[in-house]
């Protein structure tokens, strides 16, 4: 058991935690980056390539970690978070105590548990997998059906666990459409003879170059896009899957038999941080994500020293997460500078802080 | 009237300038119908859509566009099993909406509107 003092404690060493840590460190603050997993990186450890440029996720992660040049405290289970005087006090499973005036929550998201959407057959039929499982297959180079056969027909199902009142998440996860298109292209690159159909309600491709990916999938990779939401799946004796949906543009009920179904699961807020500090619990919005989502002025912070960044505040891509983390990091910097009454000197456009 | 020896095809244009009184009536009774995103889950799961080609999504399209004659015919196929309400991602009370359409058309047959 030991007590250490910092300027800012960051919970979660995913893309946003790493980015915020680097900026705060560059600004001269003493940061403490806590991660519950054994390795830093959050969900970047799960993905293979990132949309829209198909950059390697492990390479980006390594870059972020080496940029930080600082110690990340991993395998931490936070026991308590309390406010002691003007500080947050965080204790872990080994009774170590971390203290800082600022606390940044960057706990990210968790993928939607597709088992809840029972009629889609995840966890029931072997050849129904999720987009997260497919990323694992890409990483381990083990793409196949459960019987080991190479699939000929694959269907991607959009909006699984998004925009669905029946599973209690009415928001759009914003990143599944482009993930599906990215994965379809990746598959076609490796297996050009594969037949891929995407079942969508709306394609929400709002990010930069996303529409270009969509066109590439249509023109270069001949991915078929069918407008209709999957209604139910059934398994044939040979383990192929029959999908029933309405082709809403034809206005007819339709079915398709495929070897493998990929469910593009949505992003759910990760609530494992809740129940520790009432100030955090109060910041949960009606969609389950943290914070208000409003444009904050640069000196404002939600709850006296408490900040949120990354995909814990809304579904975000890696780029959007790190952008928000950068913004919040500068806000924390301004707030700390006021709070710590430190002497700041502008030197060649960089801010150097000397603690008194 | 002069007989030209041919007839003009039925006008297929949807006239959005015309009001749709049944749509307004149903909307008042079942406000959730306004949230339909035309995903087609209802039609795909409908027990009579295979044979009839109609599902709840299509009823809403007909209703909004004032195609009441077709709507009246389509409504006859509904068996009120409620599967459409089970799958609807927007949680629309589809059975209530269909019942309201039927009730309205019973009081005001389509050719009187």
* Cβ neighbours of B91 in A, within 8 Å: 165-166
SS3 of A263, please?
Answer: strand
Domains delineated in chain A: 3-108+270-354 (3.50.50.60), 114-267 (3.50.50.60)
A82 in Cβ contact with A98 (< 8 Å): no
Give CA–CA dist A246/B45, Å, rounded: 8
Q: Is the bond preceding A52 in cis, omega lying within 30 degrees of 0?
A: yes
Distance from CA of B66 to the nearest CA of A (A): 18
Closest CA to A287 of A107, A179, A164, A103: A164
Test B37 with A163 for CB contact under 8 angstroms: yes
CA distances from A255 to A117, A132, A276, B50, B77 (A): 19, 25, 48, 11, 21
Q: Which domains are assigned to chain B?
A: 21-112 (1.10.1060.10)
Q: Closest by alpha carbon to A262, among A152, A125, A127, A143?
A: A127
- Residues 21-80 of chain B whose Cβ lies under 8 A from any Cβ of chain A: 37-46, 49-50, 53, 55, 57-58
Least CB-CB distance to B45: which of A164, A232, A252?
A: A232
CB atoms A231 and B44 under 8 Å: yes
Q: Give the model confidence (pLDDT) of A271-293 as tens digits.
A: 999 999 999 999 999 999 998 88
Q: What value does the mean pLDDT of chain A take?
A: 92
Q: Which of B38, B42, B53 sits opposite A252 (nearest CB)?
A: B53
Contacts of A242 in chain B (CB under 8 A): none
Residues of B in contact with A252 (CB under 8 A): 53
The pairing of strands A343-347 and A350-354 is antiparallel
Q: Which residue of B has its CA nearest to A252?
A: B53
Q: Give yes or no for B87 touching A (CB within 8 A).
A: yes
Average pLDDT over residues A114-125: 96
Shortest CA distance to A319 belongs to which of A212, A180, A157, A206?
A206
Stretch 214-233 of chain A: residues touching chain B, C-beta under 8 Å: 227-232
Question: Which tokens go with A278?
Answer: 């009432």
Per-residue pLDDT tens digits for A30-71: 999 999 999 999 999 999 999 999 999 999 999 999 999 888
How is residue A280 written in tokens?
């955090």
- B44·A245 Cβ contact <8 A: yes
Q: For each of chain B's 113 residues, which pLDDT tens digit applies?
A: 678 888 888 778 888 888 899 999 999 999 999 999 999 999 999 999 999 999 999 999 999 999 999 999 999 999 999 999 999 999 999 999 999 999 999 999 877 77
Distance, in Å, from the CA atom of A216 to the CA atom of B51, rounded to the nearest integer, reads 37
Q: Which residue has the tokens 């208000």?
A: A292
Residues of chain A contacting residue B90, judged by C-beta atoms under 8 Å apart:
165
- Percent of chain A whose pLDDT exceeds 70: 93
pLDDT of res. A351: 55
Helix or strand (DSSP H, E) at A254: strand A252-258
Determine which of B37, B40, B55 to mutate to test the interface with A (most A C-beta atoms within 10 Å): B40
Using a CB–CB cutoff of 8 Å, tell me whether A245 touches chain B: yes
Number of neighbours of residue B74 by Cβ within 10 angstroms = 22
Contacts of A219 (CB under 8 A, 6+ apart): none
Cβ–Cβ contact A97 with B under 8 A: no
Find the mean pLDDT for residues A131-150: 91
**B5 interfaces chain A, CB cutoff of 8 Å:** no
Per-residue pLDDT at A17 exceeds 90: yes
CB A306 within 8 A of CB A105: yes
ipTM above 0.95, yes or no: no
């Amino acid at each position: 058991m030991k007590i250490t003092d910092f300027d800012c404690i960051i919970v979660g060493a995913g893309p946003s935690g790493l980015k915020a840590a680097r900026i705060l460190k560059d600004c001269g603050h003493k940061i403490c980056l806590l991660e519950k997993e054994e390795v830093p990186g959050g969900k970047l450890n799960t993905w293979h390539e990132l949309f829209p440029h198909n950059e390697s996720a492990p390479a980006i992660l390594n870059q972020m970690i080496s940029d930080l040049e600082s110690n990340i405290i991993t395998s931490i289970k936070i026991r308590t978070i309390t406010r002691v005087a003007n500080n947050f006090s965080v204790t872990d499973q080994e009774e170590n105590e971390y203290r800082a005036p600022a606390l940044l929550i960057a706990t990210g998201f968790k993928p939607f548990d597709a088992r809840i959407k029972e009629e889609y057959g995840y966890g029931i039929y072997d050849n129904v997998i999720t987009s997260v499982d497919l990323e694992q297959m890409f990483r381990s180079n083990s793409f196949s059906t459960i019987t080991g056969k190479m699939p000929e027909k694959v269907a991607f199902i959009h909006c699984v666990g998004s925009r669905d009142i029946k599973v209690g998440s009415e928001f759009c996860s914003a990143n599944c459409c482009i993930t599906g298109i990215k994965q379809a292209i990746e598959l076609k690159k490796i297996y050009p003879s594969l037949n891929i159909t995407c079942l969508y309600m709306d394609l929400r491709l709002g990010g930069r170059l996303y529409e270009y990916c969509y066109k590439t999938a249509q023109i270069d990779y001949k991915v078929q896009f069918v407008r209709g939401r999957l209604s139910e799946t059934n398994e044939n004796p040979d383990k192929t899957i029959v999908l029933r949906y309405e082709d809403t543009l034809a206005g007819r009920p339709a079915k398709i038999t495929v070897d493998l179904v990929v469910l593009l699961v949505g992003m759910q807020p990760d609530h494992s941080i809740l129940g520790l500090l009432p100030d955090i619990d109060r910041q949960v919005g009606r969609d389950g994500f943290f914070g208000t989502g409003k444009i904050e002025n640069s000196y404002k912070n939600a709850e006296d020293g408490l900040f949120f960044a990354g995909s814990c505040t809304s579904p975000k891509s890696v780029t959007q997460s790190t952008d928000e983390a950068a913004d919040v990091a500068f806000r924390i910097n301004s707030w700390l500078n006021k709070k710590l009454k430190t002497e700041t000197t502008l030197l060649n456009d960089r801010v150097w802080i000397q603690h008194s | 009237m002069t007989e030209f020896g041919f007839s003009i095809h039925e006008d297929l244009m949807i006239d959005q300038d015309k009001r749709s009184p049944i749509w307004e009536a149903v909307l008042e009774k079942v406000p959730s119908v306004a949230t339909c995103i035309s995903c087609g889950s209802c039609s795909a799961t409908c027990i009579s859509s295979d044979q009839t080609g109609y599902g709840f999504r299509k009823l809403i399209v007909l209703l909004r566009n004032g195609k009441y004659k077709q709507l009246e015919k389509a409504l006859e196929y509904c068996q009120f099993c409620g599967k459409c309400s089970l799958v609807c991602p927007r949680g629309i009370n589809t059975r209530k909406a269909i019942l309201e359409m039927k009730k309205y058309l019973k009081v005001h047959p389509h050719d009187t509107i």
